[in-house]
Amino acid sequence: MKAAFTWTGEALASVADLCVRRWGIRFREGDSPRLRLLSESAYLGSADESFPGFVARLSSLDDDDPEMQAFIAQLVVGETSFFRDQPQFNALRESVLPAIAADRRREGRLQLRVWSAGCASGEEPYSVAMLIAETIPDWRDWDIRILGTDINPFALRRARLARFGDWSFRGVEDESIRGYFLPVGARTRYLQHPCRELVKFDRHNLATDSLPDPERGLAGLDVILCRNVTIYFDLALTRRLADGFLEALGPGGWLFVGHAEPDPQVFGRFEPVEFKEALVYRAPGNTVKHPAPSRDVRSAGSGRQSPTPSVPRRHSAKDQSPMSRAVEDHAEIRLPTLAEARVAYDAHDHAGASALLVAIANGGGSDPTAAHLLAQLSADEKHYDEALYWAFRALLLDRFHSPTMMLMGLIWLERGYLPRAREQLQHAIFNNPRAPEAHFYLSMVHRALENPDQSERSRERALRLARAHGGNLLESDLLPVERPRIGLAKEALAKSPPLE
């Protein structure tokens, strides 16, 4: 088994350095506990290798590698929601989109290009699509493309599914999105409106991929939204990006950044345009004069006045670490509970249960259960990469979380990483030697590794422990999603020949 590793500042710095170089994501001093957990969980899940060897190997993996995908997904914060930052969407709906549309009609060129950079699970680009469908009545006759990009492959997968839990609609009045979504199960909705087809998703790394990029549709853009993304970057990268955005926008194109984004002088080459409670940047070369300031629309409450004035803030954004800020933004809103997720699951609404669990897991609590159950749900659906990601997230919160350690061993086994599966299950057994399933799963791994003697020894241990438990294997009293997996071990044990 891998020897215990002493986490030096130097070791953490090498992982932090990797995050900055590859994705521009920096850790501040206050973030070092998170950096340590991130490094630890990735290292724990890795093969039996030295720490420098692990960092070197991780650095050499490209972003498509499953291990790298899981690492990226746990590195980033994917907080988002529909119509997040009301005043900006008001400006877009009331002023910016109508102005662009009028301009295009005058030119006789019915074309519109929008980029949501760092789109997470897609709520932002889909919000734009809905606004376009409302503000441009003949939008079907136009050539409109909205591109959502991100580095997180799992967020993009969710985005393409276009299914969202209640949490994604916080602060949005039901009335204002009527007709766009189809309820699926108790607490999930599917974006069924044809404007969905305007939105496409792609992987794009803002830290390294060059701009403009006409081949990927990132040139001659009318609108770029890059909100709550550069808060993780350093100033040099943000400046470079601001220049890249300018190159990627057409003359007079619009840039929306989050209002916690760095100081306005970074966007000094743009013209700042003020709308009601929203500052938007405009590329030079505009042919149309500024559109009229916007009125408040589409908020929960009266429909005229925004009852959630901007995004409520209890601290200055500058006081906080960027990693915690996204969660803080919505700290006042009640998170769903595990019990609610259970209700959805019992009603066979797996997508709904999953959406609720994502909200709980992203809600910033310290309980690993939601992340663990998401790992279980993903594994049951054979989405092993995503399962690995959630398992890492659960281990980030509790590195000795026994069910997750076992599940992770099984995921490595399913994906054919046998030495890693063995190591993970040995860790699980070291942590909880009396869990029969861990021994049973290890016997499966040994069998796959063609170690029949070790496989048999582990199987015998599993049977003895199961007997000592009165034949009952450990079962979670949380969600029943645990049971199929446990059931698998139980069933196999039942079929095993009795011990002499």
Q: Are 345 and 374 in contact (CB under 8 A)?
A: no
Stretch that binds ligand SAM, among 17-25, 46-54, 311-319, 474-482 (CB under 6 A): 17-25
390-401: b (≥16 Cβ within 10 Å) or e: bbbbbbbbbbeb
Residue 146 interacts with ligand SAM (CB under 6 A)? no
* Residues 155-194, interacting with ligand SAM (CB under 6 A): 155
Q: Does 78 bind ligand SAM (CB under 6 A)?
A: yes
Binding of residue 256 to ligand SAM (CB under 6 A): no
Contact criterion met (CB below 8 Å) for 190 and 352: no
- The number of residues that bind ligand SAM (CB under 6 A) is 27
Contact between 118 and ligand SAM by CB under 6 A: the answer reads yes
Secondary structure in 3-state letters for 328-356: HHCCCCCCCCHHHHHHHHHCCCHHHHHHH
Q: How far apart are CA 280 and CA 224, in angstroms?
A: 10
C-alpha distances in angstroms, 114 versus 38, 149, 213, 223? 34, 11, 14, 5
Residue 335, interface with ligand SAM (CB under 6 A)? no
* Cβ atoms within 10 Å of 215's Cβ, excluding its own: 7
Question: What's the alpha-carbon Rg for the chain, to the nearest Å?
Answer: 25
Of these, 150, 222, 349, 385, which contacts ligand SAM (CB under 6 A)?
150
Q: By CB under 6 A, is residue 120 in contact with ligand SAM?
A: yes
Q: Which of residues 196-215 bind ligand SAM (CB under 6 A)?
A: 204-207
Cβ of residue 206: shortest distance to ligand SAM, in angstroms?
A: 4
Q: Is 35 in the site for ligand SAM (CB under 6 A)?
A: no
Q: Is 69 in the site for ligand SAM (CB under 6 A)?
A: no
Q: Closest approach of Cβ 50 to ligand SAM, in Å?
A: 28
Of 62, 145, 128, nearest to 89 (Cα)? 128
Cis-peptide, bond into residue 212, ω within 30° of zero:
yes
Q: Which is nearer to ligand SAM, 286 or 324 (CB)?
A: 324
- Shorter beta-carbon distance to ligand SAM: residue 11 or 257: 257
Distance, in Å, from the CA atom of 391 to the CA atom of 394, rounded to the nearest integer, reads 5
Q: Is 229 in the site for ligand SAM (CB under 6 A)?
A: yes
Helices and strands, number each (H, E), in the chain: 19, 10
x/- track of binding to ligand SAM for residues 433-472 (CB under 6 A): ----------------------------------------
Residue 497 Cβ, how far from ligand SAM at the closest point, in Å? 50
DSSP-based three-state secondary structure for 181: strand
Q: Is 326 in the site for ligand SAM (CB under 6 A)?
A: yes
* Closest approach of ligand SAM to the CB of residue 225, in Å: 7
The helix (H) or strand (E) run that includes residue 454 is: helix 452-468
User: Which DSSP state fits 295?
Assistant: P
* Choice from 79, 222, 385, 437 touching ligand SAM (CB under 6 A): 79
Beta carbon nearer to ligand SAM, 315 or 434 = 315
Sign of CA dihedral 447, 453, 454, 456: positive
The amino acid occupying position 54 is F
**Choices 20-28, 86-94, 411-419, 486-494; region in contact with ligand SAM by CB under 6 A:** 20-28
Q: Helices 384-397 and 402-414 meet at what angle, rounded to 10?
A: 160
Region from 57-65, 113-121, 133-141, 491-499 binding ligand SAM, contact rule CB under 6 A: 113-121
Between residues 14 and 149, which has the closer beta carbon with respect to ligand SAM? 149
Q: Which of 14, 15, 18, 23 binds ligand SAM (CB under 6 A)?
A: 23
Q: Which stretch binds ligand SAM (CB under 6 A): 44-52, 135-143, 228-236, 477-485?
A: 228-236
Sign of the CA dihedral with 383 first, then 387, 390, and 392 last: negative
Number of other residues whose CB lies within 10 A of the CB of residue 57: 14
Give which of 188, 177, 182 is closest to 129, Cα–Cα.
177
When asked if residue 376 is in the footprint of ligand SAM (CB under 6 A), the reply is no
14, 88, 228, 455: residue in contact with ligand SAM (rule CB under 6 A) = 228
Q: Which of 361, 363, 81, 365 is nearest to 375 (CA)?
A: 361
Q: Which of 92, 146, 147, 151 binds ligand SAM (CB under 6 A)?
A: 151
- Choice from 15, 16, 25, 387 touching ligand SAM (CB under 6 A): 25
Q: Of the two residues 79 and 423, which places its CB atom closer to ligand SAM in the complex? A: 79
- Judged by the rule CB under 6 A, the positions of this chain that interact with ligand SAM are 23-25, 76-80, 84, 118-120, 124, 150-152, 155, 204-207, 227-229, 232, 258, 326
